[in-house]
Amino acid sequence: MSTPTPSEEHPPAVLISVTEIRRRPGSRMPVERTLVAQGLGLTDVAVPDGSAIAFTGELESIHEGVVLTGTADVPWTGACRRCLKDLEGVATIDIREVYETKPTDGETWPLDHDQVDLGPLLHDIALLALPLAPLCTDDCLGPAPEAFPAVVEGEPIPGDDPDPEPAKDPRWAALDDLEL
């Protein structure tokens, strides 16, 4: 209980013990956890304080740590960028992250004392999931269509896949071999 209290900038910890699956690389466990949102907002959109960011997926043990895969549902509220009508929605985000005992800064997450902490991950994911320019309907013209043109920058064109699945990491291929 002598641990210093984290500052408000730190998201609350959502700890999971992975001792069981760490005994044998390749073993898995299901994971369902939530982070209660606090102070997660941008200028015009936010995850309402007190709402639940829910993760569902699994952890798989690898030699250096564990791999977390699954999806997070991120509730958000905001205003239509054209007509300013109040909006709400849920963004579903695919997650695949590695927790390891010797994490690489910016690439993998720390695994300390056989525990992973979903708090910081879900916090970051939620901020990334917020729509930057929400619309009430795709063809909302708003009060001033000429001032706010109907094409949202960065929005994918329907039928065009802007983010094809990346090539398989050779480390995963090695892992697959181990499971044979």
Which residues of this protein are in contact with Zn ion, per CB under 5 A? Answer: 80, 82-83, 85, 136, 140
CB of 85 to Zn ion, least distance (A): 5
CB of 130 to Zn ion, least distance (A): 17
Pick the closer one to Zn ion by CB: 52 or 140: 140
Quick one: which H or E segment has residue 127? helix 118-129
The tokens describing 53, both together, are 């960011």
Burial class from Cβ neighbours inside 10 Å (0-12, 13-18, 19+) for residue 109 reads buried
CB contact at 8 A, 67 and 59: yes
Pick the closer one to Zn ion by CB: 83 or 175: 83
Pick the closer one to Zn ion by CB: 146 or 163: 146
Please name every residue paired with 94 in a beta bridge, in sequence order, or none if there are none: 71
Residue with tokens 């054209």: 82
Pick the closer one to Zn ion by CB: 80 or 98: 80
CB of 80 to Zn ion, least distance (A): 3
CA atoms within 13 A on the CB side of 83: 11
Pick the closer one to Zn ion by CB: 32 or 88: 88
Alpha-carbon span 149 to 73, nearest angstrom: 30
CB of 133 to Zn ion, least distance (A): 11
Pick the closer one to Zn ion by CB: 83 or 132: 83
Alpha-carbon span 169 to 7, nearest angstrom: 36
Residue 6 CA to its chain's centroid (Å): 22
CA atoms within 13 A on the CB side of 103: 15
CB of 142 to Zn ion, least distance (A): 6
CB of 30 to Zn ion, least distance (A): 40
